[in-house]
Amino acid sequence: MKTKTIAGKNVEKNTNVTAPEAKSTEKKFPRRKFFRRKRPFSVEVVLCEDATETQLPERKTTGSCGADLKALVSGTIPAHGMLTGVRTGIKIKPSRKCVGWITPRSGMSSKGITIINSPGEIDSDYRGELMINFANLSDEDFKFEAGDRIAQITFAPVFFGKFNIVDEFSPEKVHNERGENGFGSTGMASEENKTDDEGVPLTEAD
């Protein structure tokens, strides 16, 4: 503290000035509002003319990510056969920032009933009725009734990529051990790179 005389009065002047805090250089990645949702987003549902509100998809528990889809009519999936175009009686309009995936229910899968194109992708601009294609891998016919839960739908955010033709890929930021190796290559690589306790590569003779 310093004392200075102004107009015959002693005035104390504070010299202990602290420097402003340096701004953090840490990069902060923007988070889209979609990922900060605390409540479910709205999905508009239109019922087909012959459907009722009982066809509305349902999440049975608060932790369920998938909502159950129900059959509009009864049907039979033949043993070792298929049944395509099974109606659900609903049309949906979700957010344009997400995709809907129709997947089998675990209870039906345990009996050999699956969805042919699982996950069945529902684009955000599709406005037709949700219909499901089933396959029966078991030795017995599988029957279901109208109103039975036959599949589930889950929503996930999507990123839209813009495709650009280039002569060659840009340099990798992280070392790429795979390159153009495809089907089963990771398993093959692990077999080829086996070594003993001392790090010596193993041969067929070993």
What ranges do the domains of the chain cover? 38-49+68-156
Number of helices and strands (H, E) in the chain? 2, 12
Question: In 35-157, where do the E strands start and end?
Answer: 44-47, 67-70, 75-77, 82-93, 98-103, 113-115, 120-122, 129-136, 142-144, 149-157
Q: Which of 35-49, 94-108, 119-133 has the lowest mean pLDDT?
A: 35-49
Dist. CA 1–CA 41, nearest whole Å: 60
Q: What share of the chain is helix, strand, coil (3-state, %, to 5)?
A: 10, 35, 60
Backbone φ, ψ for residue 50 (5° rounding) = -100, 15
Report H helices in the chain. 106-109, 185-192
Looking at residue 61, its amino acid is T
Is pTM beyond 0.85? Reply is no
Averaged pLDDT, 125-142: 96
Paired residues of 67 in beta bridges: 153
Strand 67-70 vs strand 98-103: parallel, antiparallel, or unpaired? unpaired
In CATH, 38-49+68-156 is 3.40.50.150: no
What pLDDT was estimated at residue 176? Answer: 75
pLDDT of 127 > 80? The answer is yes
- If one compares 99 and 198, the residue with the highest pLDDT of the two is 99
- If one compares 179 and 44, the residue with the highest pLDDT of the two is 44
What pLDDT was estimated at residue 96? Answer: 85
What pLDDT was estimated at residue 71? Answer: 97
Find tokens 């043993």 and name the residue.
Answer: 79
Looking at residue 25, its amino acid is T
21: three-class secondary structure by DSSP: coil
pLDDT of 48 > 80? The answer is yes
Averaged pLDDT, 127-134: 96
